[in-house]
Amino acid sequence: MTLFVSIVKNQGLAAAGRELGLSPATVTARLQSLEERYGVKLLNRSTRHISLTDAGALYHQASLEIINSVKETENLLQTGTKEVRGPLKISAPRDIGKQYVSPILTAFTELYPDVIPYLYLNDNLTNLAESGLDIVIRYGELADSNLISRKLASSRRVLCASPDYLAKKGTPITPQDLVGHDCLAMIRSNEELKTWHFQDDEGYKAITVVPKRFSDDGEVIRQWALQGAGIALKSILDVQQDIKQQRLVTVLNGYMKNFSASSSATGADLNVIYLSRQYQPKRIRLFVDFLIERFRTQTQESSLSN
């Protein structure tokens, strides 16, 4: 079941073999043995693509549930032990991961040296149940009833640019002015986020900008803004030090801004998200509490310094 789940997650037999330390021939043989055992075809395979059959989709879902049940049983047995050990797999946006999560992980592993952290830095939305991750840190919430979401920090979106850029191109006064500016846009799940949404006391506006650059990496967007390449729509948490040190300047401050019209005032908050399990591994429970406390402390210190 673990092998089959890995094949589906990695979209290939060879990649699953690398993840599990098995040769391609071994993976192929085991998959064939699995299909022969049940007398059904589980995967449609071509040289470049695999897809689940109806039977395969049923088996995949059952495998995920059974594997999670086994993990919960192991966690139940280990919860009472004094040792805090094992892997801790975390995904975070690149800016947040480097500026905040990495130093927090360093402090946590000083307390619990037998915990081995894996920190994956990306801005993509993740199917947590299939990813193998323990924790995902993201802006906004993932719509899944099997997930627990706890707020790490309040945040909001800001439009920002370097002083040099604004000196050359001028400062936008209304959202419509952005159409004539060099904008820096995110790509998320292959979608170009170039329609930016604004709300003030007079109502709601949606502006489709004409970006000069795109990236799926929020840190790259921030670096381009620092280099004077254009105006970026960023979380205040990502750029608050740049703003404080006047490397970036915010514009159109009278508007609530976001990538989505459906986002509420809390839609830009930073959250820690994890699977809802009856028996959560002790290392995960301890790290989530540690993470929330560290963010609370840092947020209070930032408020005082401002």
Question: In order of start, what are the domains of the chain with their CATH numbers?
Answer: 1-79 (1.10.10.10), 86-154+269-304 (3.40.190.10), 157-251 (3.40.190.10)
Q: Is 276 helix (H, G, I), strand (E, B) or coil?
A: coil
pLDDT at position 303, please?
A: 47
Length of the chain: 306
Q: What distance in Å separates the CA atoms of residue 22 and residue 168, rounded to the nearest whole number? A: 57
Tokens 């609530």, located at residue: 256
Alpha carbon of 193 to those of 5, 187, 189, 260: distances in Å? 32, 6, 10, 9
Q: What distance in Å separates the CA atoms of residue 142 and residue 78, rounded to the nearest whole number? A: 29
For residue 109, give every residue at least 6 positions away whose Cβ sits within 8 Å of its Cβ, in sequence order, or none.
115, 117
Q: Which region holds residue 208: left if phi is over 0, alpha if psi is between -120 and 50, else beta?
A: beta
pTM of the model: 0.66
* Regions of the chain where pLDDT drops below 50: 303-306
CA atoms within 13 A on the CB side of 291: 27
Contact 98, 219 (CB under 8 A): yes
